[in-house]
Amino acid sequence: MKSDYKNILVTGGRGQLASELERIVKSQGLYAQSSGICGEKGLRESDFIFAGKSDLDICDAKAVGTCIEKNDIGLIINCAAYTAVDKAEEEPEAARRINATGPGVLARQTARYGIPLIHISTDYVFDGKNCRPYTEEDPAHPVSVYGKTKLAGEKAVIRSGCKGVIIRTAWLYSLHGKNFMNTITRIAKEKKTLGVVADQTGTPTNAADLAKAILKITEAGVSGYAGEIFHYSGEGICSWYDFARKIIRLQNLPCEPYPIRTGEYPAAAPRPFYSVLDKDKIKKAFSLEIPHWEDSLENLLKENK
Ligand SMILES: NC(=O)c1ccc[n+]([C@@H]2O[C@H](COP(=O)([O-])OP(=O)(O)OC[C@H]3O[C@@H](n4cnc5c(N)ncnc54)[C@H](OP(=O)(O)O)[C@@H]3O)[C@@H](O)[C@H]2O)c1
């Protein structure tokens, strides 16, 4: 990958999205250092550093500043987040610290050092009352603690005046980590039938597709933006039930899913009934082609056979 940036720091480096970024970066032959980030020397131009929570707490302004200086960081991609949507209802302070305070710290430090930030946010900033895909101009009205803290994070990034972009994504999945695809796969191996919510509509996003898009965006450069919001998810529309059915069918699992209503699956956090994202803006700005969610899921599960 060619990019104008010096070293690129990926925070939340052990998470689902960061792991996909790391896998792709390594496959492109770029050095990807996983630990002991601060004070390390000898990195090449445009090297990636993946910092897990134990390497770098995004809420620690001093540590973030030291890391930027010692590693000559030219761009930060923030993949760190508190993503346990239901647990966040019980732990609003923890969610706020990681989803709102942390991005604010990163944004102020990137502004201070004059480097850009790519920050990741969520479709759950919307209340789900739309009946057409949400554009970046639609007002955000989150209905859960997770959504509220992520929106506060976006606002902190914008307020800092730092360079860079905010990318909202949705329904992320990959072969690794805790996500809907892996949960359905596990349960479908154990149960003959499975009720899955069919009245929430959105679009699954293969984390590898988003990772590739982020690398393309990095290559194109984000220094010309200041907290501009973009939407990215897979193409198409489906319910969690449709998604589960496809996951089960593609793997020939001996389980029959059936549709249920949201109220039949009690969850601590309310979720938007509709959170499809309009992706025109990101496609035009960065000449991106986005795969349909069904094709992407099929390819991933084929590769994994
Ligand atoms: N997953 C989805 O379905 C989804 C949907 C829409 C948007 N998003 C957004 O997409 C982004 C990536 O999500 P993901 O699925 O890759 O999340 P993830 O797998 O939960 O990864 C987040 C990582 O951040 C780490 N972290 C937590 N607190 C931290 C701190 N203070 N400093 C540094 N790292 C910290 C976590 O470590 P621990 O696990 O050890 O706490 C975890 O490794 C997030 O911004 C998320 O909000 C996700």
195-236 pLDDT, tens digit per residue, is: 999 999 999 999 999 999 999 999 999 999 999 999 999 999
Burial class (CB in 10 A: 0-12, 13-18, 19+), 269: middle
| CB 63 near ligand 1, within 6 Å | no
pLDDT given at position 31: 61
pLDDT given at position 152: 98
| CB 79 near ligand 1, within 6 Å | yes
Active site residue 82: no
pLDDT given at position 85: 98
223 Cα distance to chain centroid: 20
Q: How high does pLDDT run on average in the chain?
A: 93
Active-site choice (134, 146, 173, 274): 146
pLDDT surpassing 70 at residue 267: yes
Q: How many CB atoms lie within 10 A of CB 98?
A: 24
Global pTM exceeds 0.85: yes
pLDDT given at position 298: 98
| CB 12 near ligand 1, within 6 Å | yes
For the structural domain made of 7-174+203-236+276-291, what CATH number should be given?
3.40.50.720
Mean pLDDT of 47-73: 95
pLDDT surpassing 50 at residue 41: no
Nearest CA to ligand 1 atom 30: 57
Residue 254 and residue 244: Cα distance in Å, rounded?
Answer: 13
Which of 11, 23, 79 maximizes ligand 1 atoms within 8 Å of its Cβ, making it the mutation to test the pocket?
79
201 vs 6, residue with greater confidence:
201
How many angstroms separate the Cα of 54 from the Cα of each of 41, 68, 70, 72? 20, 16, 17, 20
